[in-house]
Amino acid sequence: MSIGPLDDETVEKYREAGEVLRTVMDESAEMVEPGVTHLEVAEYAEDRIRELADGCAFPANISVNEEASHASPGRDDDTVFGEDMVCLDLGVHVDGYIADSAVTVDLSGNDELVESAEEALDAALDMVEAGAHTGKIGAEIEDVIRGYGYTPVLNLSGHGVEQWDAHTDPTIPNRGADRGVELEVGDVVAIEPFATDGSGKVTEGSKNEIYSLVHDRSVRDRMSRKLLDEVREKYKLLPFAARWFEGGRSEMAIRRLEQQGVLRGYPVLKEEDGAMVGQAEDTVIVTEDGYENITR
């Protein structure tokens, strides 16, 4: 059945992406335990997504403790989980149509912080319908998290998803805002509250493993041209991981393309006080009578 401007085929692709994501998220979250490497979980999740769907909408994000987003292990990363707060953020696409979801696996003993993000997500979902104002949804997220004694991460937000684009309008803030838009039937949005026991702001770290194509143009270097051709063919505008490319010179080619403005890098985002961050996220389609949650 079509939903607003989304035809039957498009809706089914979103649903298929969500179904795969639910399966892979459950399996991957169960792997997160002390002694297991970040790379083991990331590669398992990404391989399963490729097995069950058309591909990853972005690399597996495994953000630990003060990390909030864009943390993904490198090719030779041997970091293991300890007594950590682990945010697992995965994306699936079917013909470019995206489902995006995140859960927090707490090995650190901070259950209430995780609960605040989960409850904030549930409260936000209760408000989703055509005509709902995004700023009011953000206010509900903020109220729930502050009610637990924590702070929402104010400079991160939920977002729309469209074919081959994992971050589009509308923005769903994690705080109350007068500015915003009203949701419409057929909007596909990922709502993702972040809660922290810090000040509620993230800044960029130095580590960078995730990239995407932002300015497609011809390049002269042979290795860079070969890598760019592969990005165009396999990932289009979707983010990818440097470790997905074979060969020792691929990282040099990625750096050159980033310096030329062809690729954009996504540094790890960290809570500025070094405080813990918990996250919860679902992707929903706004319908005539509310919403359809494709990831839960």
281 annotated to bind ligand: yes
CA-wise closest residue to 35 among 78, 85, 86 = 78
Query: What does pTM read for this prediction?
Result: 0.96
pLDDT classification of 206: cutoffs 50, 70, 90: confident
Give the tens place of pLDDT for each residue, 110-137.
999 999 999 999 999 999 999 999 999 9
- Write down the mean pLDDT value for the chain: 96
Q: How far apart are CA 158 and CA 192, in angstroms?
A: 5
- Known binder of ligand: residue 100? yes
User: What's the CATH code of the domain at 129?
Assistant: 3.90.230.10
What is the total count of domains within the chain? 2
Asked if the structure places residue 113 within a domain, the reply is yes
Of the candidates 106, 102, 46, the one whose C-alpha atom is nearest the C-alpha of residue 240 is 46
Whether 151 and 278 share a structural domain:
yes
CATH number at residue 216: 1.10.10.10
Burial of 11 (0-12, 13-18, 19+ CB in 10 A): buried
Percent of the chain with pLDDT over 90: 95
Domain range spanning residue 186?
Answer: 8-204+273-293
Residue 93 marked ligand-binding:
no
Residue 1 in any domain: the answer is: no
- Give yes or no: residues 78 and 175 share one domain: yes
Residues 101 and 44 in one domain: yes
Residues annotated as part of the active site: 89, 100, 159, 167, 192, 281
Residues 34 and 181 in one domain: yes
In a domain, 229, yes or no: yes
Alpha carbon distance 14, 95 (integer Å)? 9
Residue 184 confidence (pLDDT): 97
Domain co-membership, 52 together with 180: yes
According to the annotation, is 143 in a ligand binding site? Answer: no
Q: Are residues 70 and 26 in the same domain?
A: yes
pLDDT digits (tens, 9 = 90+) for 227-268: 999 999 999 999 999 999 987 789 999 999 999 999 999 999
Does the residue 2 lie in any domain? Answer: no
- CA 244 vs CA 107, 218, 224, 238, 262: distances in Å: 28, 22, 15, 13, 18
In the predicted structure, residue 35 carries a pLDDT above the cut 90: yes
Q: 70 among the known binding-site residues?
A: yes
